[in-house]
A and B are shown apart, each in its own frame.
Chain A
Amino acid sequence: EDAAEESNVSAELIALRKRLVDEWNAWRVVRRRELADERGHKNDRRNSSSEEKEEIE
């Protein structure tokens, strides 16, 4: 019985850990995607401004 109880607890703990990892990874994916988007826009702006300069010249 004790052994069964113990394994129940660890099963719960394993489930909790899995949930925590899933939450963490989901948040990381969102933030990473946002950062990639922001950097993409920044590069777009840089490219367009350098093109503009060329036209002026």
Chain B
Amino acid sequence: MRPILLQGHERSLTQIKFNAEGDLLFSCSKDHVINVWFTHNGERLGTYNGNNGTVWTVDVDPESRFMMSGAADNTLRLWSVQTGKNLFTWEFPTAVKRVAFNDDGTQVVCITEQRMGHQCAIRVFQINRDGDGTDQSTDPLYFFNPIGSKATVCAFTNVPNVIFTGHESGKVALFNVKSGEEVNNNERAHGEVVTDLQLSKDRTYCITSSKDKSARIHDTKTLQVIKTFSTETPLNSASFMPNRPYVLLGGGQEAMKVTTTSLRQGKFETRFWHKVFEEEIGRVKGHFGPINTIAVHPAGTCYASGGEDGFVRVHHFDDSYFKAKPYGDLDIDD
């Protein structure tokens, strides 16, 4: 595997995301900037300027036409992927921690932070795709305050108006965005804060990572835990590998804690686990700080990791990776 180092951020990465075709990689950071890169050679295609705070989250629609970002300057922004223009800005009383498109790019769901007398809120916006994208409604389609522990991650499921959420307490839940009602929950999905949520291609299952050092696959309909991956380090991100039965996990102890714990925990590696056998397969080193975010190419040909060290590393797989069958000839459904 030849890693490509993407150098363009001055501070730690918060989220990275491939577009549907996989030719572009979006990255956002504490340096207030969003970058977009060509996946195949790591060349920077452009920068999205305008945020006045940490950009916490980014998502791109299925057509690679619109990109959404959420930031610590309390804004949710809609961008033109191609021109880099900020098409519309929504403002809230607190920071936007997570944003996600639905499967046809007509709606976005976002989480705003609980702070200064404001409760954690979840809003769904209808995205007007007609015209140049600047004609958007200021008001959300739906708005509610999730009960109990604040939400940290969210995504649309296959069921209309139902979203999957991960929470600070370690809970995962399904919410009806129309009524704000919690449809189902698993209070003990994780023992600590849920740090990432990524869906399978058909959205029938998802993976969450947590500071409790584990990642879990959940059935998005029943919330049943299907698989558990237990590591020895707090996890910040988890991702599926399309066409291969693997999951990728990333995390690491914060820099301050490294000196007081064993050397092993000071290494910053992306971990490959077998998603059905729950066995660790291998690790890829490289980052000088904890791995904050991992994304896999939609065709499974490469993956990228974004670190606390400010670097994005893109790893394209060799032919040997595709030929390798470390567990023999087993036919595993994606």
Instruction: Look across to chain A and name the residue whose beta carbon is closest to the beta carbon of B330.
Output: A21
Q: Which residues of B contact A (CB under 8 A)?
A: 158, 202, 204-205, 219, 221, 226, 276-277, 327-328, 330-334
Nearest CB of B to A22, in Å: 10
Q: A17-B330, A34-B204 are in contact. List 10 more A-B contacts (CB 8 A).
A: A14-B328, A17-B327, A24-B333, A25-B331, A25-B333, A27-B219, A29-B333, A32-B202, A32-B204, A35-B158
Residues of B contacting A21 with CB < 8 Å?
276, 330-332
Residues of A contacting B332 with CB < 8 Å?
21, 24-25
Q: Mark A7-22, 1 if CB is under 8 A from B, else 0.
A: 0000000100110110
Nearest CB of A to B93, in Å: 37
Provide the bound-state CA to CA distance between A21 and B327, in Å: 11
Residues of A contacting B327 with CB < 8 Å?
17
Provide the bound-state CA to CA distance between A17 and B334, in Å: 16
Can you name 14 A-B residue pairings with CB atoms under 8 Å? A17-B276, A17-B327, A17-B330, A21-B276, A21-B331, A21-B332, A25-B332, A27-B219, A27-B226, A28-B204, A28-B334, A29-B333, A32-B204, A35-B158
Provide the bound-state CA to CA distance between A18 and B331, in Å: 10
Nearest CB of B to A56, in Å: 24
Residues of B contacting A29 with CB < 8 Å?
333
Provide the bound-state CA to CA distance between A31 and B200, in Å: 12
Provide the bound-state CA to CA distance between A18 and B204, in Å: 23
Interface size of A by Cβ–Cβ distance < 8 Å? 15
**Does A38 touch B at the CB level, under 8 Å?**
yes
B205 and A31: CB pair below 8 A? yes
Q: Which residues of A contact B (CB under 8 A)?
A: 14, 17-18, 20-21, 24-25, 27-29, 31-32, 34-35, 38
Instruction: Look across to chain B and name the residue whose beta carbon is closest to the beta carbon of A27.
Output: B226
Instruction: Look across to chain A and name the residue whose beta carbon is closest to the beta carbon of B278.
Output: A20
A-B pairs with lowest CB-CB distance, top 4? A28-B333, A31-B204, A24-B276, A25-B333
B276 and A20: CB pair below 8 A? yes
Q: A25-B333, A27-B226, A29-B333 are in contact. Are A35 and B276 (CB under 8 A)?
A: no
Q: Residue among A17, A31, A38 with the most chain B CB within 10 A?
A: A31
Residues of A contacting B221 with CB < 8 Å?
31, 34
A17 and B158: CB pair below 8 A? no
Residues of A contacting B276 with CB < 8 Å?
17, 20-21, 24
Q: Residue among A14, A21, A25 with the most chain B CB within 10 A?
A: A21
Residues of A contacting B333 with CB < 8 Å?
24-25, 28-29, 32
Nearest CB of B to A41, in Å: 12
Q: A28-B333, A31-B221, A38-B158 are in contact. Are A20 and B204 (CB under 8 A)?
A: no
Residues of A contacting B226 with CB < 8 Å?
27
Provide the bound-state CA to CA distance between A35 and B159, in Å: 10
Provide the bound-state CA to CA distance between A4 and B158, in Å: 50
B330 and A31: CB pair below 8 A? no
Provide the bound-state CA to CA distance between A14 and B226, in Å: 20
Nearest CB of A to B31, in Å: 40
Nearest CB of A to B35, in Å: 35
Provide the bound-state CA to CA distance between A14 and B330, in Å: 11
A35 and B202: CB pair below 8 A? yes
B277 and A20: CB pair below 8 A? yes
Provide the bound-state CA to CA distance between A42 and B221, in Å: 17
Instruction: Look across to chain A and name the residue whose beta carbon is closest to the beta carbon of B332.
Output: A21
Residues of A contacting B330 with CB < 8 Å?
17-18, 21
